[in-house]
Amino acid sequence: MLQHEVTGSERDRSLFQQELSKRELHAHKAFLEDDKVLPPVFEPLVEMEVKNEKIARSFAHVEDLHVLQTKSRTSDPPRDKRVAVMFSGGPAAGGHNVLFGIQDALGKHNTLLGAKGGPGGFLQGDLFEIEDLSKVKNQGGFDFLGTDRTKIKNKGLLEQARRVCWKHKLDAVIIVGGDDSNTNAAILAEYLYQDGISVIGVPKTMDGDLQAGEYLPIPFGFDTATKVYGELVGNLLRDTTSSKKYWHVVRLMGRDASHVTLEVALQTKPQVALISEEIQHRRRTLQGIVDEMAHGIIKRASHGKPYGLILIPEGLLEFIPELKGMMDDVSTVMKKDAKILLDRNLEYRRKHIQKHLKGKSRKVYSGLPYRVQEMMTLSRDDHGNLRVSQIPTEELIVEMLIERINKLAPGLPLKTVTHFFGYEGRCGPPSVFDAWLGYNLGLTAGSLVLDGRTGYMSAFGDFDKGGRPYAVPLVGLVDIEERSGNKEFVIKKTKVTMADKAFRYFCSRRTSWLEHDCGANPGPRQYEGKTANQLPITVALNKGYKGPFFKL
């Protein structure tokens, strides 16, 4: 029997995955009538403002800037709509539940098509009709459709997208993605407006940096990722108090914002957690950060505690003003001398950069370990930015800590273990919260299509009251930012602020965490019992919810 079950898991996935796919999803009451999904219609709630005239001119056709709320449908929903959906960008837990929600909203009398391989596959017209989603319900990853990072924003690609819509007789396109993907949705909605083709965005990102106030306190994917990291960090904290001799230094995914690090810190109470936005706000230097941590380590050791854990956000280095300026100068040299540096090894690149940097940037660069200098000469992303995940920031911190402690407290042993938790959090089976949120965002997106809306991002808020669907105009979120030397339309990322209630609470507790062994292990994701419906702590604190749970 056991051999049969093991063999069966090769075909039908593990027993856990099979059982999870059988679970019922809970729809918001606005979508239900006699236990059947009935897609609502939408009405204006409040009006948003466009950031400037250039944005207003460029998105002139998508006129309605009202945040929308739902009201009950009084007539049968439209029929015979053909709707395409695609995943865009990195995976996030809950994506398959979005598909399930869209399909439920569209019902049996409309057709849902999936784009294989993300926007790139869509542009090639690689679409298929989605029928049975039962095996991917409540499953992690984006593997049912696949994904990529193609940006549909220049005239040629926009026209190619239009031809695909015509060929497949599409009435609507739904893009499930992060800030860049939803920016593309806004641009595509404007381009296809006169064709009568609706474009709707669905917000996802494990980084938690795509938000829209009370209408979207957090996108799907964040809760699962932070619960995965929370369990891993909690395990390491238990290791520190067991062996009583190691400092674990953990870098967590989250380049442009520290929501992940803050959430995991609140879940686990480590001895030290760095928040990039605070460091930038206080204009801290790298050496100053290391000095403060070194004094804390020495103080703990003097009290018989030569162990602990440090959390570092992935994008830390870019938030330190002196390093940010240096990294920008490195990028400038690399762009200017791209032909010279092409196919050269890291040592050649390192020496070339060091030779051509000037002033403070050269001094800062030269003071870094050789390995980190080399990492800073690696290839850039599509926006011309350094891929910071390639830089072992945790190892840089350890090297500097050892050097500093040797000067401040000679002979004090510092045993360190470094970790980077990134991809581990992207594709796990969704938490109950992410399964619930993804499904309802999908229901909202499908309902927006049937209501004839375009240029909107589906949203969901009021988690403590059972949830409420909203629609946020994408143009109201668009700003202009310089990328690779060009002014581009972008949806601005939401970062941790010094006024956030979650950050202020963290500040009030971190001294105690450093002095004492307060570490907590939140354990694995739960699907039954009291903790199954637990909200992200940062969301609960920032929104002033009275309890830590959301209502199904």
Per DSSP, the residues of 35-95 read TEE---EEEEEEE---S-HHHHHHT-S----EEEEEE---SPPP-S-EEEEEE-SS--TTH
Please pick, among 171, 179, 180, 207, the residue that the annotation labels catalytic.
207
Mark whether 451 is an active-site residue: no
Query: If 0-12 CB within 10 Å is exposed, 13-18 middle and 19+ buried, where does residue 73 land?
Result: middle
Q: What number of other Cβ atoms are within 10 A of residue 1's Cβ? A: 5
What counts of helices (H) and strands (E) characterise the chain? 21, 17
Q: What is the largest CA-CA distance in the chain?
A: 78
Cα gap 437→419, rounded to integer Å: 30
Q: Which of 271, 274, 270, 178 is nearest to 230 (CA)?
A: 270
**What span, in angstroms and rounded, lies between the C-alpha atoms of 104 and 244?**
53
Q: How far apart are CA 439 and CA 446, in angstroms?
A: 11
Task: Report whether 205 contacts 235 (CB < 8 A).
Answer: no
Selection from 100, 99, 42, 110 nearest residue 71 by Cα: 42
The answer to whether 430 and 92 are in contact (CB under 8 A) is no
Exposure string for 206-236, b = 16+ CB within 10 A, e = fewer:
bbbbbbbeebbbbbbbbbbbbbbbbbbbbeb
**Cα 357–chain centre separation:** 34
CA distances from residue 506 to 105, 287, 294, 334 in whole angstroms, order as listed: 40, 23, 20, 39
Q: Under a CB-based contact definition with an 8 Å cutoff, are residues 277 and 504 in contact?
A: no
Query: Known catalytic residues?
Result: 207
